[in-house]
Amino acid sequence: MADGKVDGANAESRRHRVPIGAESLKAFAHPLRMAMYAELQRLGSATASQLGRSLGESSGQTSYHLRQLERHGFVEDDPHHSGGRERWWRPVGFDLTESELERDPATAGPVRAILQQVIAERSAALTGWFNAHQPGADDDSLLSSVTLSLTAPEVTALTTDLSELLERHLAAVRDRPVPDGARRIRVHTDVFPLPGESSTAG
């Protein structure tokens, strides 16, 4: 999330080049659909049956909600799993940048639900990493936090640079077969104003 921007992209997904609209937003802001999307991000791709087992739902339920997510462009076929009996799905990244959606009473609730889901999922991912972490493990993990005093144009420049850097790495691996020895790596990028803060030293 970057100043109200929610980025659902991951290493196998494509970004929507335009922000999602109100109809798609409302369709996505369903508890099971958001949970399924988060699970697809964690796994990279999965079938309806696999998602059902993981989330304690029937494959009929997950199949229905996957079709709804596909209708609004949030999931797509995984080209690395084709020709089997079951359809494999992967998440499609998206940007939620329209501030009007958060101000509109008709869409403010779904926006907040998505923001809460993003924050909860990031917290769960970090907690899972911490619980599984072995002291001295050579996994190149990085936890970093920096606080700066920036003008609005400087914030825009920072978020643009970060997004372009991530997009270059995403583009390099997006549609290749997963090589031997590769691990799924999560990257979180959060840029947001501290509440109650005015101009102070960085």
- Token pair 């080049």: residue: 17
Domain covering 6-130+145-173 in this structure, CATH number: 1.10.10.10
138 contact partners, CB below 8 Å, separation of at least 6: none
pLDDT at 48 over 90: yes
Q: What is the pLDDT of residue 3?
A: 35
Mean pLDDT, the chain, integer:
83
Q: What is the pLDDT of residue 201?
A: 44
Q: What is the pLDDT of residue 142?
A: 85
Q: Quick one: which of 14, 145, 130 has its CA closest to 77?
A: 14
Structure tokens at 70: 């596909």
Q: What is the pLDDT of residue 156?
A: 92
Mean pLDDT of 58-83: 91
Q: What is the pLDDT of residue 14?
A: 43
Can you give the pTM of this predicted structure? 0.74
Mean pLDDT of 22-31: 90
The domain segmentation of the chain, as residue ranges, is 6-130+145-173
Q: What is the pLDDT of residue 97?
A: 67
- Write the single-letter amino acid at 70: E
Q: Quick one: which of 191, 188, 186 has its CA closest to 160?
A: 191
pLDDT at 157 over 90: yes
